[in-house]
Structures are given as structure tokens and as C-alpha cells.
Amino acid sequence: MYIHLMKKASLLLVLMTLATSAFAQNSEFGILVGGSKRIFASSDKAVASDNWKFSNSVREIWYGYYLEPDTMLKIKAGEITSQLGKADVNDPLSVQKGRIEHIDMLVDYRFREAFGSTGLFGGVGLYKQKSGPGADAEGTDYGFQVGVNGDFPMTRRYGIIIEGAYHWVNYSYKPRFLTLSGGIRFKL
């Protein structure tokens, strides 16, 4: 128990130090909501439907600060709801609806445009899945996220963000997810 408390205290100290130094710089945070779609492997097509509806949800918040004028370091936390579990044609109940919570550290490179900016981002994160009762799709592992975004400023401090991302998670069945989201950005 003592080690568990020390981990929490150390993590809080590190986060407070990062937050204090980051708020002193040019930084921003944002909120994104949208849809998600699990991409099944070609061998799993018998279980998956072929429609491209983003029928599941994604909610994310992020905080970023500029390392250079066009390069931002982001910490993003979110939740994706989607089908979880290894797709098995003999057991259609192996894929059940659940959610994946994630926290990622991303590098976002921005390109200045006449309408605002666009960006390419990528990074690594920690993904934790939780599924319904009776399912065995529980666990935590690392994953990767890459994507594109657009920032459309409304004022100097506020803007609208549109984002598309690809998530690859290293569970035993290697799920992949596409997310499309939009939201608002606040510059500090």
C-alpha cells in the first residue's frame, strides 16, 4: 500500500511540475466528440459488417504546448466505444460492445494555411479496454495513434478543431479503430 501511495504522489508531483511549466508557455487545450469505427482484418470479415458508419462514440480532451512555432507536444485522454474482442466466425458473441480508455503523448506538426492551420500528428499511448459482463475483453496495453487535423480560428483564443485519427492497439487480437471528431480549442 505504501508503494501505491508513493506512485500516486510521484505522479501528481510530475504532473504539477509539467503543468506549471507548460502554462508559462504558449499552450492550448481542447475538447473533441465524434464517432468511431473498428476496422476488422480481412480474415474477420464474416463477423464484421462492411458499412462505413461511425456508429460508436469517441470523447477526448487534450492539452498541448508548443515546443517550436509549428510543433506541439500534446497529451490526449479519451474514451472510444466500439466492438471489442477477437472476431470469431464460430462464436458471433465473441465481439461485444465495450469501451477503450486511452491516454497518449503525441507530437503535432502544424502547417499554416490561409484559413488557419492543418496538422499531422502521431505518438504512443496506454489503452485500457472494458467490455460487458461475461466477456473476456479486459486488459491494458500500449498502442499508437496517428492522424490529421484542421484548426479553424474563430478568434485569437478560440477555434474549431476537426480531427481524424487511426488507433492501433497491441491487445492479443490487435484491434484498429478510426475516429472522426470535432470540437473546440482554447489558447491559454
The Cα–Cα gap between 178 and 14 comes to 31
The Cα–Cα gap between 30 and 61 comes to 6
Residue 12 included in any domain: no
Range with the lowest mean pLDDT among 2-16, 115-129, 137-151? 2-16
CATH code for position 48? 2.40.160.20
60-70 tens-digit pLDDT: 999 998 989 89
In this predicted structure, the answer to whether residue 47 has a pLDDT above a threshold of 60 is no
For residues 76-85, give the mean pLDDT.
86
Residue 50 included in any domain: yes
For residues 49-69, give the mean pLDDT.
81
**pLDDT score for 9:** 65
Number of structural domains (the chain) is 1
**pLDDT score for 151:** 95
For residues 135-148, give the mean pLDDT.
82
9-32 tens-digit pLDDT: 667 666 666 665 555 568 899 999
Residue 5 included in any domain: no
Residue 3 included in any domain: no
Residue 6 included in any domain: no
Residue 35 included in any domain: yes
Domain residues for 127?
28-187
Residue 16 included in any domain: no
- In 3-state terms, what secondary structure has residue 5? helix
The chain-wide mean pLDDT, for the chain, equals 81
